[in-house]
Chain A
């Protein structure tokens, strides 16, 4: 309770409001740190998507569309792919999760993982079809499916540990309460 009261004090409110964005940007930085593990066999997961999904459900007043835009934009800059695809994917995923907030937030256990898997699939599908559209405009082939499926599987596989970290941050620094906004 002390932490919660402290977090709600006006002087800490701005710092608290920045935690979801900072967590998202940190996730993007970690995922895109150009270090190859296992000889580059598997792509890095979309760590930046976990804070977007988590705080969109728990505290949507802190995870705003502009924050999800910023996290997606950072993913675009650091990942090196065609610019804007992850920005669009993150923002549209945010829109989907925000519209179905009650459905997603009511999930628990394995269903919660499946809920995130659905959101991640939507994000990867948006990114894939955006790149495919851009390729078709340039007269190029469709991008291969295997890399984006690998990315999706890695993202879902790392959802539970990433959520533990994000949840810990939320309870320690923001507060346990769920926003009714």
Chain B
């Protein structure tokens, strides 16, 4: 019988099994401590595979749609009736929303409210999906060359899908909201209840409420809270559904069917110093003891974000919140 723990079976050049086991343990520990090493390899692998994936995308999507719709054939009539009813209801709500939007705009004008910052977005195509035991992800055809960076939110037309957690040059990996490692601070309306939405590989992520005293209701709206500054506030995520043990979120977006998504580039611009006229001393009618330099001179001293160079776009992209978020996901 072969002795599995021998140094070699036929030659002396093979590694002993015990050494290979030890090496495997080292890889596990190294992966825990220095995950970016492996992330780089993964990003390089998908960058290399991207052209093949893009070519395979259309036939595979058609195949997937065909098989995915087989079970729905028998319920088409009921679904059609339900959709017509829902459509009529949504038309009513659309009219209400238009009226409310106009009212909000008038109030903002009256209050001189600061409008929400507009977000830059990169449109990307889903070129791959992976459903593994410890990771649910999708691969997009936009990477660092398109200013897609780790930490940025990924949306489809209905709502948030997940966040970029690994960006190669031409591709990026998205950690889905349903993934075990996903944690997103959310706000629940009405009442602006703060909670943490955590994925557990099921279709409906779990809600962990910050306060134990609040009461939720099925159908409450869940949006991103913007806490921590990693994601913008107000991104639509889903609705609250009751679970036997607590509350979960029924997501608006369908990650398994999304084909084109947006990667939101959320980075806060540097805050400009107030002009001298706005300082409290000026407002009180006093002159400042030290003459302040003009605001334009102060702004000139703030290093402006470098313009992206076509050849090396990585340095041009903001990485502050992204790297922290990447570490958080590990």
Chain A interface (Cβ within 8 Å of chain B)? 32-44, 60-61, 64-66, 68-69, 72-73, 76-85, 87-88, 91-92, 94-95, 98-99, 101-102, 124, 127-128, 130-131, 134, 137, 140-141, 143-144, 146-148, 150-151, 181
Contacts and interface: CB of A to CB of B under 8 A. Distances in A.
A69 B284 CA distance: 74
6 contacts: A39-B64, A76-B27, A83-B27, A83-B32, A84-B24, A144-B202
B46 interface: yes
Contacts of A33: 49, 128
B42 interface: yes
Given A65-B17, A146-B201, A38 B64 contact: yes
Given A88-B28, A146-B201, A181 B9 contact: yes
Given A60-B9, A64-B9, 11 more contacts: A34-B49, A34-B139, A38-B64, A39-B67, A39-B256, A43-B131, A76-B31, A77-B38, A81-B135, A84-B25, A88-B25
B218 interface: no
Contacts of B111: none
A81 B134 contact: yes
Nearest to B68: A39
Given A32-B130, A143-B134, A91 B201 contact: no
B24 A69 contact: yes
B121 interface: no
Interface of B: 1-2, 4, 9-10, 14-17, 20-21, 23-25, 27-32, 35, 37-38, 41-42, 45-46, 49, 53, 56, 60, 63-64, 67-68, 127-139, 166, 173, 180-181, 200-202, 256-257
A140 B64 CA distance: 34
Contacts of B67: 37-39
A84 to B, nearest CB: 3
| Chain A to chain B: the 10 pairs with minimum beta-carbon distance, closest first | A83-B31, A34-B128, A84-B28, A98-B4, A36-B129, A84-B27, A81-B134, A65-B20, A147-B133, A40-B131
A57 to B, nearest CB: 10
A147 B202 CA distance: 10
A80 B64 contact: no
A72 B28 CA distance: 12
B200 A144 contact: yes
Contacts of A146: 201
A175 B36 CA distance: 42
